[in-house]
Structure 1
Amino acid sequence: MASTSEVGHAKNIANLNLLNTNILALGAIYNPSNPKLKLTNLQSIYTSAFTQQESVNNLVAPYSVAVDEREAIFKPLNRELTKLRKAYKATEGVTQVELEDFMTIIRKLKGVRKSTVIISTNPDEAQASYSTSQMSYDQRTNNMDLLISLLQNTPNFNPNETEYQIATYQAKKAQMLLKTQAVADTFVPLNNARSLRNNTLYLSDDNLVDIANKAKDYLFTILDANSAQYKAISKIKFKKR
């Protein structure tokens, strides 16, 4: 199923198919001098756009799943780190300076807002938003590394409870790295597919929206404004995002 962000693109594609169906029904009277407005070319554009949109749809789900799985690793950290602070503070011999260092790292680990799935239709905007999000998660993982190092270098930090043990946080860091990489691995093909689709629909010199609207302009020159065909075609809209 297409995501909500893909519905507008799918509508443009579906409307081109509808326009092509109306043109086919007109028969020989549809005879533009511009070869780009020929029915065969319009059908070719539709086929390309439909295939590219399907590719995007198929890649949205893996990316969304990867983002959700990463969030499942990062989201509980705030609560877990609050409890870890108590365990660290209760450790014999921990100094005020060590506690301040600990809290500095904790604040950095907590200070990132939840990521969302990239929905921008502009490839540059999507890439920039993704890069910022990815960098934030990379920074949090790096701060987890700093936290582990601090715990390892605190002489008496050796809690009996598994949830506070260094090995537990080492395992968390490994999962953070794995899930963040999975987001990167699924975003790149999705972003590439969106770029290809957007080029066909909106950005190329002979993009779907412009060509379809030119075809409508031609149709209005050969149809009676009061005809059923004219009224049906006039309702078919093509919009750039």
Structure 2
Amino acid sequence: MTKSLNYAKSLDISITDKENIANQAKKIRGDQKPKSVNPETTETDGISTSQMSYDSRIANLDAYITQLASHPEYAPNETEIQIASLQTLHSSLVTLSQAVNSAGNALITARANRNNILYNNEVNVIQLIKDIKAYLKSLGDAGKPYYNAIVKLQFKETK
């Protein structure tokens, strides 16, 4: 970002275009300084406008590349900040982000399935532990060491 932004600043383009490119770079980096607010006059719960999620940063990178590409003067000699390299980086980040999102969704689904099996069935782990504790209590002194060991296990019902 720094190299491409500095190269863009060195171009003979309008100040407004330079500011727009710099603002887009700030969105990607997250360089925005927090606004000073008076806690007595503002609401405590607000909507975040930081745009720092990976998807937002990737979208901002695409807008940044588009802004740079709209200026034919932007033709650096350094390979890493050329438009083609930046577009390759963007497509790579999109692919990686999609892989992470699908893996995250699979994890969420697997956890929901696990919770349904363990906690939301008629024969769930909570009821099973209660039955085991009752059985070990019924054994008397012979089951006491096992009962003491199983009592240390903490199981809580989800709501």
| TM-score over 0.5 (shorter chain) | yes
Correspondence for 1:99 among 18, 33, 39: 18
Give SS of 1:179's match: helix
CA contact (8 A) 1:209 1:238 kept: no
The list of structure 1 runs, each at least 4 consecutive aligned residues, that deviate by more than 4 angstroms after superposition, is: none
Q: Structure 1: which 5+ residue stretches go unaligned?
A: 1-80, 113-134
The normalised TM-score by structure 2 is 0.75
2:148 is aligned to 234
Output the CA distance in 2 between the equivalents of 1:192 and 1:157: 46
State how far apart, in whole Å, the 2-side matches of 1:100 and 1:203 are.
56
* 1:197 to partner: Cα distance: 1.3
Equivalent in the alignment of 2:90: 173
Alignment of 1:52-91 (within 5 A): 81-91=1-11
User: How far 1:138 sits from its partner (Å)?
Assistant: 1.6
Give 1:101 deviation, angstroms: 0.2
- Equivalent runs, 1:148-159 vs 2, <5 Å: 148-159=65-76
Q: CA deviation at 1:205?
A: 4.2
Contact kept, 8 Å, 1:213 with 1:238, in 2: the verdict is no
C-alpha offsets along residues 91-140 of structure 1, whole Å, 9 cap, x if unaligned? 2x12221111011111111129xxxxxxxxxxxxxxxxxxxxxx922211
What is the CA distance between 1:211 and its match in structure 2?
Answer: 2.2
- Which of 137, 140, 147 lines up with 2:57 in the alignment? 140
Percent of aligned positions that are identical: 33
Whole-Å Cα distance in 2 between the matches of residues 108 and 207 of structure 1? Answer: 48
Given candidates 110, 117, 124, the residue that maps to 2:29 is 110
Say which of 190, 193, 198 aligns to 2:107: 190
Amino acid across the alignment from 1:143: N
Provide the rounded CA distance (Å) in 2 between the counterparts of 1:145 and 1:82: 16
Contact 2:136/2:146, CA 8 A, preserved across alignment: no
Greater fraction of residues in helix: 1
Partner Cα distance (2:145, 2:64) in 1: 68
Q: Give the letter for the 1:239 counterpart.
A: F
For residue 200 of structure 1, report the CA deviation from its aligned partner: 2.4
1:223 to 136, 139, 143: 139
Q: 1:104–1:204: structure 2 CA closer, same or farther, 3 Å change rule?
A: farther
Amino acid at match of 2:87: Q
Task: Report how many aligned residue pairs link the two structures.
Answer: 135
- For residue 42 of structure 1, what is the aligned residue in structure 2? none
In 1: Cα distance, 2:98 partner to 2:91 partner = 11
RMSD of equivalent CA atoms: 2.1
Q: CA deviation at 1:213?
A: 2.0
Paired with 1:189 and 1:205, the residues of 2 have a C-alpha distance of 25
* 3-state DSSP of counterpart to 1:235: helix
Q: Conserved in 2, the CA contact under 8 Å of 1:212 and 1:238?
A: no
Q: Deviations over 1:8-59 (max 9, x none)?
A: xxxxxxxxxxxxxxxxxxxxxxxxxxxxxxxxxxxxxxxxxxxxxxxxxxxx
Q: Distance in 1 between matches of 2:54 and 2:144?
A: 54
Distance in 2 (alpha carbons) for counterparts of 1:209 and 1:164: 58
Relative to the length of structure 1, the TM-score reads 0.51
